[in-house]
Structure 1
């Protein structure tokens, strides 16, 4: 039973080729760049409006590091697309893999730390020791703040993985219960179907919110180190 439930999180392969790579190419297909060869349509207009709105929200945060707005907006579009991709039938969610999420979280978090130590090393080191700390507590607080700093990429990756995995497992369990109860208790199966529909709507919201939270936390880390 466990193998059946968790089999949906395994990376599918065809002819020995990992399909996760194809899934990661979906954002570039769904979010085309506006140019002379692409005609404006309602979908493209909505995509441009959405990305511009998110970029404007990031501007007060990134301040002097405006080049990060493009990186964070691109990251949001990629995470949003891959998160929603797993809600379609017979598809795969690359962001349900902890390895991929950590592969995104660690380099981006490390880039914010390096940016802080490069631009303002004194301010970045000051975050490791709160102002007014008693002298006997200085070594302990430095160790605690350092551990807290190193745990940030782990928190980013695990949060995204856990939320998507939990939602997908609940949908799988409730859909299995619905099909099992349909021949014997159709009324209970109908109620289960309503719960499944509401859970699917909730999972849509979770997929969008988690993509936004991932990018927002990175922007806050950047603000702290800039």
Structure 2
């Protein structure tokens, strides 16, 4: 029994083994692999079409150097979508509600885009810290502000994903608790509340997919500045 609503965000442990490791490994076995046939089934065809459309949408604005990141970023997007959606099932745990995990995704990838920019085009990469035409007295202030803005990007990536998923899960938990409490007292109100809960669950499914897409979209924008 949960002592409070935030217990659902604690990583479960079984026999001293954190089950977050199992949650991270599970999504990879859920996706079907294409068979060695001329025509695939509908599921594999839909999966391939979706990946193709997402890749085209994310990497069309990038030049040829950024296309090397397509496999990494699209794989991460599919992985995040899987984790977010699986976390909506009963008696499951959502690893992406942990800020530490999201920062582990955000910081290395953000740092890689910065390093790529400094290696390939250092003048342009450093030029982002000082907009062209800045008055001389504002130069030190703007450099400090842009530097802080640069280093806060991975924190914004991780916190955005964590906050959106945590807020949605908490809201679902609160409304579900209200339904159980109101059912014996006011059945009509409980049914209306359950309808709201159903709509909120559909919204949370959309949020789970959109937030994973936004995470990768922002990384591709950071990459676009450095390639």
TM-score band, normalised by shorter chain: over 0.9
Aligned-pair CA distance for 1:136: 0.9
> 1:124, 1:83 → 2: CA distance?
34
Aligned-pair CA distance for 1:61: 2.8
Contact 1:175 1:196 survives alignment (8 Å): yes
TM-score, with length taken from structure 2? 0.95
Q: 1:107 corresponds to which residue?
A: 108
Consecutive unaligned residues in structure 1, runs of 5 or more: none
Give CA-to-partner distance per residue, 1:61-117, whole Å, 9 cap, x none. Answer: 332221101111001100000010111000010000000000100000001101111
Q: 1:150 corresponds to which residue?
A: 151
Aligned-pair CA distance for 1:57: 1.3
Aligned-pair CA distance for 1:2: 8.6
Contact 1:116 1:225 survives alignment (8 Å): yes
Contact 1:115 1:225 survives alignment (8 Å): yes
Q: 1:24 corresponds to which residue?
A: 24
Q: 1:209 corresponds to which residue?
A: 210
Q: Answer yes or no: is 1:13 the counterpart of 2:13.
A: yes
> 2:59, 2:191 → 1: CA distance?
47
Q: 1:188 corresponds to which residue?
A: 189
- Secondary structure of the corresponding residue to residue 131 of structure 2: coil
> 1:199, 1:213 → 2: CA distance?
20
Contact 1:96 1:165 survives alignment (8 Å): yes
Give CA-to-partner distance per residue, 1:4-58, whole Å, 9 cap, x none. Answer: 2011111111111111111112331122442539x93222221111111111112
Measured on the aligned residues, the alpha-carbon RMSD in Å equals 1.6
Q: Answer yes or no: is 1:176 the counterpart of 2:177.
A: yes
> 2:149, 2:224 → 1: CA distance?
17
Contact 2:2 2:8 survives alignment (8 Å): no
> 1:97, 1:134 → 2: CA distance?
43
Consecutive unaligned residues in structure 2, runs of 5 or more: none
